[in-house]
Structure 1
Amino acid sequence: MFKKRENVAEIEEGKLLSPKFDNDGLIPVITTCSKTKEILMHGYMNVEAFKLTIETKEAHYFSRSRKQIWHKGKTSGFVQKVKEIRIDDDQDAVWITVDIGNGASCHVGYRSCFYRSVPMGKIDNARNIEMKFEEDKKKFDPEVIYKGQPNPTKI
């Protein structure tokens, strides 16, 4: 589907897209909000998900736990409308900027998957580091939205 990776100069300085997928056929993706610039989530795409994202201008990811492509927001209604796609210098990581309206990107119900911060400073006991919730309200109730569906993550 994409151009074959042939030499470093072409990959780093060329104009043709030659993404590098890992041994599992995946490429990491960071997703940010087009309005606030905040990081919404981190996910993965396989070749098909990347192609669908480019073609439809809506984010598609590959679920490692379910081993299938998912159209982000198809169930919750918070579809990620892609505004821009960028790829890093060696083409092994993708950054997409999306519009989610007044919706959310986190399956837990928060706007961003990065809804907690980790305190910094001296660590006395790493087992007792208490995080701070940066988002105090969920955008939706996951129990209602995903009723009867498998949990999108596995521990």
Structure 2
Amino acid sequence: MSKAFVREGESDDAGDDLPERPVSPHPNFVTAAGLAAIDAELARLHAEAARLDPERDALVAARVARDLRYWTARRASAQVVDAPRPGGTVQFGSRVTIERADGRRQAFRIVGEDEADPSAGSISWVSPMGAALLRREEGDVVRVAGGEVEIVAVE
């Protein structure tokens, strides 16, 4: 059949336009829980790939293959960072409580890029807030995004 009579999106190359997931240029530091999450995602993707019919589910198969490439690369580059030592200095894996100028308090755990979920209270060590807090201590005032925050607790 001529390609002229095939609707866009129905070709054998359904996943060819799917962009690769960008891999961060930063070191891939992870917590032990972050490494376990990568392993779980790889297992889920392998199981999904095994269930797929690549002919019938070409776009889904392309997405799963792309995600497998990403997570395989992230697993290969993962560097597990030990839990932080107790003390007042912010480290990778620390839970940090800050107080904003308006009196609001927020607590974040500083984790790897793939683990970060600000809505769940975790931020990446390379995010503006995470980077500003690292190596600081309780009582320090840190300038972030045009405002100041005080570190009131480090766990």
- TM interval, shorter chain, is under 0.3
Flag the structure with higher helix content: 2
Kindly name which structure, 1 or 2, has the bigger radius of gyration based on alpha carbons. Answer: 2
